[in-house]
Amino acid sequence: MSSGNIAETVESLSKRRKILFGDDFFSENDDLESNEVYIKTRLKNDEAYKKLPKYLIEEQERENGDKGYAGSLLSKFNKEVEVANKKFDKDIIENGDELTVKIIQEIKEEESQDIISRKIGNKEEDLKELVLVPNSKEEHTATTVNTRSIGNTGLPFDDSTTRSNSGSLLFQETQKASNFVKPEWHAPWRLMRVMVGHTGWVRSLAMDPENKWFASGSADRTIKIWDLASSKLKLTLTGHIMAIRGIVVSPRHPYMFSCSEDKTVKCWDLEKNKIIRDYHGHLSSVYTIDIHPSLDIIATGGRDSTVRVWDIRTKLAIHTLTGHDLSVTNVKCQASEPQIVSSSMDSTVRTYDLVAGKTRQVLTHHKKSVRGLVLNEYENTFASASSDNIKQWKFPDCNFLQNFKPKHNAIINTLSLNPSGVMFSGADNGSMCFWDWKTGHKFQELATTKIPGSLESENGIFTSTFDKSGLRL
């Protein structure tokens, strides 16, 4: 074929592709070998179009008074192909090279075998795929899901191949479908065993970094160490004179830290099983504590509405972070900025600049006290829980991501998260919910098992933690 014929063929092919695939989807410099992309797409959609049940098209036309057409993407595509065929078909096919002819033959053979084995799908499913688009002088534009199904046939469409108005029903439905994220499947959770030993409410839990034991702090003023595998009591530690509200175990030192309503924070040597340091400074009960993952500091918060940052070894207070108007319910530390996050009974969440010792952001989206807070170190996100909702946020600017749905209709006291993306929430009324972190979907809800001899009002859940494997709660 002469260079002049080739140039004309390429130019015709480019024009045709612009009609079929949208504005500038192909460049003017496409060579003839790219015919394969064009031919495969065209033939697949032509064959699928022949499968469309006529009653669906006729029904849609009747509903529109014969003034419109069945506005499926496939129907519109076919009409554009018809127009293109009249102008460019002969030039491309007659002047095409051997590769083009060979591709056509191979695809037709494949399609003829494939079409025989396919059947028309359910009428209701077909009706959902066909949406009436009235004829209009205005040009319409739309974004579609990459694969739309008509009957049992999957039809590939590139987003740039379709046109429809952004206000049309087709656009709205396809947008909803493309934005929907299917929740990941998680195995259901069930109660394995109940451990009894404390004589007061258990308000705090902490897991051993090596996943061999865990500690519990109670209103009975004791800390108990339990074997994780057998659930047997290994040790009871005493030292606080009032209820223990928070415990954390250091991943880098043989230390455990506890805070209490007696206004003190204590450091325990786990090799000697005794107190080696006390941290004084809070003016009232200390409700929460956390340790920084990479620095030798701890952060505490309490009834005096402050968050205090301590040097582990010198026992000195590095910062006293203010801003909350009511009791601080949770404080969390992380290696990336912002390094400290706190929640409060004043219905706000605050983040702090650790170097400057000042507030970075104040989140006021919650309407009631925020009692639950959990960080996701894998995705640089976090969640806060109030009785109005559980909300998810994105670091470092604390942009709102989503609400977890359906709501956990109770006063939520605790949130926990495992590496598999399962979040747990526990509430005052004893209800427990399990959520998919990515989508915010609640996939399981349970109720606390009542212990014989306990009051119904004592059935609430105050604290929770996953083990390091994420398989036990």
Tell me the C-alpha distance between 81 and 383, whole Å.
51
Comparison of pLDDT for 230 and 184, the residue scoring more: 230
| 396 and 247 assigned to the same domain | yes
Domain holding 358, by residue range, is: 202-458
Q: Is 461 helix (H, G, I), strand (E, B) or coil?
A: coil
| 328 and 407 assigned to the same domain | yes
Instruction: Please tell me the total count of domains within the chain.
Output: 2
Q: Which of 95-104, 344-353, 462-471 has the lowest mean pLDDT?
A: 95-104
State pLDDT tens for residues 363-376.
999 999 999 999 99
Secondary structure tally for the chain: helices H, strands E: 7, 28
Q: Which of 34-43, 103-112, 211-220 has the highest mean pLDDT?
A: 211-220
Q: Which of 72-81, 202-211, 231-240, 299-308 has the lowest mean pLDDT?
A: 72-81
Candidates 434, 411, 412; CA nearest to 423 is 434
Tell me the C-alpha distance between 69 and 174, whole Å.
19
167 inside domain: no
- Asked if 463 and 248 count as a contact pair (C-beta separation under 8 A), the reply is no
Output the CA–CA distances (angstroms, integers) from residue 3 to 8, 10, 14, 90, 95, in the order listed.
Answer: 9, 10, 16, 18, 11
Candidates 420, 344, 421; CA nearest to 384 is 344
35 inside domain: yes
Average pLDDT over residues 212-233: 94
Q: Which of 79-88, 154-163, 359-368 has the lowest mean pLDDT?
A: 154-163
| 446 and 363 assigned to the same domain | yes
State pLDDT tens for residues 404-419.
988 888 889 999 999 9
* Those residues with Cβ within 8 angstroms of residue 116's Cβ, 6 or more apart along the chain or in another chain: none
Give the model's pLDDT for residue 187: 85
Count of Cβ atoms closer than 10 Å to residue 40 Cβ = 17
Give the helix/strand (H/E) hosting 140. none
Candidates 373, 391, 303; CA nearest to 333 is 373
Give the model's pLDDT for residue 281: 93
Q: Distance of alpha carbon 337 from its chain centroid, rounded?
A: 21
Comparison of pLDDT for 51 and 165, the residue scoring more: 51
Average pLDDT over residues 450-464: 68
Reading the block at residue 327, the tokens are: 């009791």
What letter represents residue 206's amino acid? A
Tell me the C-alpha distance between 47 and 125, whole Å.
19
| 447 and 300 assigned to the same domain | yes
| 274 and 381 assigned to the same domain | yes
Comparison of pLDDT for 60 and 449, the residue scoring more: 449
Comparison of pLDDT for 407 and 349, the residue scoring more: 349
Name the CA radius of gyration of the chain, rounded: 32
Residue 121 pLDDT greater than 80, yes or no: no
Question: Which residue has tokens 């053979």?
Answer: 109
Beta strand 328-333 with 340-344: parallel, antiparallel or unpaired?
antiparallel
Give the model's pLDDT for residue 125: 41
Q: Is 218 exposed, middle or buried (0-12, 13-18, 19+ CB in 10 A)?
A: buried
- Asked if 264 and 279 count as a contact pair (C-beta separation under 8 A), the reply is yes
Q: What is the DSSP letter of 183?
A: P
> Residue 4: pLDDT band by 50, 70, 90 thresholds?
low
Last residue of a domain, one of 97, 119, 135: 135
What percent of the chain has a predicted confidence (pLDDT) above 70?
Answer: 60
335 φ/ψ angles, rounded to the nearest 5 degrees? -75, -35
Average pLDDT over residues 350-378: 93
> Residue 435: pLDDT band by 50, 70, 90 thresholds?
very high
- Asked if 97 and 1 count as a contact pair (C-beta separation under 8 A), the reply is yes
Give the model's pLDDT for residue 104: 58
Q: Which of 78-92, 146-160, 276-290 has the highest mean pLDDT?
A: 276-290
Tell me the C-alpha distance between 303 and 155, whole Å.
61
Give the model's pLDDT for residue 127: 37
Residue 354 pLDDT greater than 50, yes or no: yes
> Residue 193: pLDDT band by 50, 70, 90 thresholds?
confident
| 257 and 387 assigned to the same domain | yes
Residue 82 pLDDT greater than 70, yes or no: no
| 130 and 206 assigned to the same domain | no
| 228 and 103 assigned to the same domain | no
Average pLDDT over residues 119-136: 39
174 inside domain: no
Reading the block at residue 14, the tokens are: 């480019």
125 φ/ψ angles, rounded to the nearest 5 degrees? -65, -40
Output the CA–CA distances (angstroms, integers) from residue 345 to 10, 324, 387, in the order listed.
Answer: 70, 9, 11
| 105 and 229 assigned to the same domain | no
Q: Which of 48-57, 172-181, 449-458 has the lowest mean pLDDT?
A: 172-181
244 inside domain: yes
184 inside domain: no
162 inside domain: no
393 inside domain: yes
240 inside domain: yes
What percent of the chain has a predicted confidence (pLDDT) above 90?
Answer: 48
We report the CATH number of the domain holding residue 209 as: 2.130.10.10
Last residue of a domain, one of 87, 106, 135: 135
| 248 and 382 assigned to the same domain | yes
Count of Cβ atoms closer than 10 Å to residue 451 Cβ = 11
Give the model's pLDDT for residue 375: 96
Give the model's pLDDT for residue 100: 55
